[in-house]
Chains A and B, each alone.
Chain A
Amino acid sequence: MKLASKDILGIKDLSVDEINLILDTAESFIEISTRKIKKVPTLRGKTLVTLFYEPSTRTRTSFEIAAKRLSADTVSISSTTSSVVKGETLIDTARNLEAMNPDIIAMRHSAAGAPHMLSRLIKQSIINAGDGAHEHPTQALLDMMTIKEKKGKIAGIKVAIIGDIAHSRVARSNIYGLTKMGADVTVAGPITMMPRDIDKMGVKVHYHIKEAIKNADIIMMLRIQLERQGDSIFPSLREYSNYYCLNAQNIKLAKDDVLVMHPGPINRGVEIAPDIADGSYSVILDQVTNGVAVRMALLYLLAGGK
């Protein structure tokens, strides 16, 4: 069993078999995090570098915990405390890292395609931890794992993705992954937040949250990314919240056993009401737990001889 590529750059490049392999492997890794001694010797002597040009709590911590539970060593580099502030280019930074012989680099960058460029330049495995508004494959994998865990399957499950679809790498990766796995995906958001090519992505498009979440099994709320947009996409946060916030009223339109997901960090009261985020529908923290298992699976599947 192996993955076709040395890198995980996006869900778009993965086959259904590869996604299943990753999810099945991740499922077996869950148990390790419940042990008293949360560590196995599998990746002794391997090194993971996390190279983050954008802030992150969950993703970086999750990668580091995953690596440490597999006995790999981890080094983390963030743009604010590295030579990036002295003007070193991404390529120079990567070449220097390569010279120190790590095995896997997990990287996040604000430019779409940055990890793809590095993967062609250096021999180490690259895992895309988010590139601009393009893809965030590990998030989509942990989301699919959570859906499979809670609903028993992905095929035929009705998933509504709500919010800023155009600027969301989480939405894009999930749309690629969920449609590949046979889920029934609906997206909704203001027209200014819809990507131009949305009708080619195999999803249903709505502009009102109520239509999109009707009979949904899963509602995936997206964060309003205040840092990634100009100021003309919607008039005000309050107006956005009035139309698109998931709350105790509109969630009644979904199935009784609907589950609410969010990639975090959540803007409480903007895209999701606090009582929904903390309530019984929410699997937001299960997503975080599964994130460690998914990243352990990827490190396990990628590390090794050639």
Chain B
Amino acid sequence: MKERKVVLDAEGIDRSLTRIAYEILEKNKGVKDLVLVGIRTGGVFLAERLRQKISMIEEVNVSVGILDITLYRDDLLTTNKKPMLGKTDIPFSLDNKKVVLVDDVLFTGRTIRAAMDALIDFGRPTLIQLAALIDRGHRELPIRADFVGKNLPSSLWEEVSVNLIETDGKDEVVIIEEEE
């Protein structure tokens, strides 16, 4: 049996993203040289929503890129099974840009390590910041987020799932616990 608990509903997600959008603008003093890069797949939709929020606040559209980190993973060659490769689409230069990486759940930090290596292959950004809707802890690398929607202390045997309208038909963050 699995126990399923909603820890953030649609309104909660929206409020978190609104706050993150303001924080991004505050920390970077506006939108100059700012670009968003969403990590496949959850981060892509969140980056797009942040773009919309920023455009409502500042009336400027910032560029949004899509990053698939599969080819940069550190566990690829340990198994014969391969994750399905997604497309990377960053149709603008990252040189001298302030890049905000966007992901749904920050966990071990390994995805972010891979994402940063990938970004550096595209150019030399002025800086890279990280926005995550959920930070569930359990870092295995020295990485922290600059913008966090919700800190969610979790145990390792729990599953944290960010469901979004675009992929799951409903906005909510749930924590699923494997029962004894």
Chain A residues at the B interface, C-beta cutoff of 8 Å: 1-2, 24-25, 27-29, 31-32, 35-37, 39-43, 45-46, 70, 297, 300-301, 303-306
* CA distance in complex: A37, B72 (Å): 14
B76 touches A40 (CB 8 A): no
Known: A28-B68, A35-B121, A39-B121. A300 touches B85 (CB 8 A): yes
Instruction: Out of A1, A46, A297, A304, name the residue touching B78 (CB < 8 Å).
Output: A304
A304 touches B79 (CB 8 A): yes
Main secondary structure, interface of B, reads loop
Can you give 29 A-B contacts (C-beta < 8 A)? Answer: A1-B81, A1-B82, A1-B84, A2-B80, A2-B81, A25-B82, A25-B84, A28-B68, A29-B85, A31-B89, A35-B122, A36-B122, A36-B123, A37-B122, A39-B121, A41-B71, A41-B72, A42-B71, A42-B72, A70-B71, A300-B71, A300-B82, A303-B77, A304-B76, A304-B78, A304-B79, A304-B80, A305-B78, A305-B80
* CA distance in complex: A27, B68 (Å): 13
- Counting CB contacts under 8 A, is B117 at the interface? yes
Q: Which residues of A contact B78 (CB under 8 A)?
A: 304-305
* CA distance in complex: A35, B71 (Å): 14
B87 touches A27 (CB 8 A): yes
Q: Which residues of A contact B129 (CB under 8 A)?
A: none
B84 touches A24 (CB 8 A): yes
- CB-based nearest A residue for B81: A2
Mark interface residues in B46-80 (1 if CB within 8 Å of A CB, else 0). Answer: 00000000000000000000001001100011111
Mark interface residues in B74-107 (1 if CB within 8 Å of A CB, else 0). Answer: 0011111111111111000000000000000000
* CA distance in complex: A126, B129 (Å): 43
Mark interface residues in B110-140 (1 if CB within 8 Å of A CB, else 0). Answer: 0000000110011100000000000000000
Q: Which residues of A contact B77 (CB under 8 A)?
A: 43, 45-46, 303-305
* CA distance in complex: A189, B47 (Å): 55
* CA distance in complex: A301, B82 (Å): 6
- CB-based nearest B residue for A303: B77
Known: A27-B87, A42-B76, A46-B77. A2 touches B68 (CB 8 A): no
> Lowest 8 A-B CB distances belong to which pairs?
A40-B71, A28-B85, A42-B71, A37-B121, A2-B81, A28-B87, A304-B77, A305-B78
Q: Which residues of B contact A29 (CB under 8 A)?
A: 85
Q: Which residues of B contact A304 (CB under 8 A)?
A: 76-80, 82
